[in-house]
């Protein structure tokens, strides 16, 4: 029932991705979840096939690996829609720190890595409503750890409301 309102938009995006370069519609990537358990996260593919072999785990401004359709769906965060399936499977939550790739562990102290993964990762979180991709890794970590310390239903609702505002503005 949850997926029904998303079915048509997801089908349109899937067709657009497939028409652009005939590659797979979904991108599956190993991410780290609650308790540091690795899971497979789904996204709509927004980059060329095998893009992870051509560059790092983060994109750069004007990254040549991003497809035309990919640029559009990223700008509207539509590429994240398949993560609703991760939420339904219990790997993710609607709200929480964005899930890291395992390689990012080297960027954290062991204590910060452990603390950050005390909660399920989310489709959106404090870092996304306080700056999205325009914040430093240090600021992102501070927001993520603040979320872990202050987790509550009220905070989740506040973040969800702010997320819709961010998406509406197209920031």
Burial 147-163 (b: 16+ CB within 10 A, else e): bbeeeeeeebeebeeeb
Q: Two tokens at 170?
A: 């197209």
Identify the residue with better confidence: 2 or 124. 124
pLDDT score at 65: 87
62 vs 170, residue with greater confidence:
62
Residue 49 DSSP SS3: coil
Q: What pLDDT score was predicted for residue 112?
A: 96
Number of domains within the chain: 1
Which range of residues forms the domain containing residue 61? 4-169
């Amino acid at each position: 029932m949850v997926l029904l309102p998303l079915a048509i938009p997801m089908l349109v995006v899937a067709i657009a991705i497939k028409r652009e370069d005939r590659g797979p519609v979904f991108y599956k990537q190993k991410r780290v979840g609650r308790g540091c358990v690795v899971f497979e996260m789904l996204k709509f593919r927004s980059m060329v096939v095998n893009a992870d072999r051509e560059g790092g785990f983060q994109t750069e401004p004007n990254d040549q690996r991003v497809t035309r359709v990919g640029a559009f769906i990223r700008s509207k965060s539509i590429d994240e829609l398949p993560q609703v399936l991760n939420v339904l499977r219990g790997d993710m939550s609607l709200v929480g720190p964005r899930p890291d790739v395992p390689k990012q562990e080297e960027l954290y102290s062991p204590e910060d890595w452990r603390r950050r993964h005390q909660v399920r990762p989310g489709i959106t979180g404090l870092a996304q409503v306080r700056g999205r991709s325009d914040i430093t890794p240090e600021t992102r970590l501070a927001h993520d750890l603040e979320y872990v310390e202050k987790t509550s239903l009220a905070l989740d609702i506040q973040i969800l409301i702010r997320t819709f505002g961010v998406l509406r503005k197209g920031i």
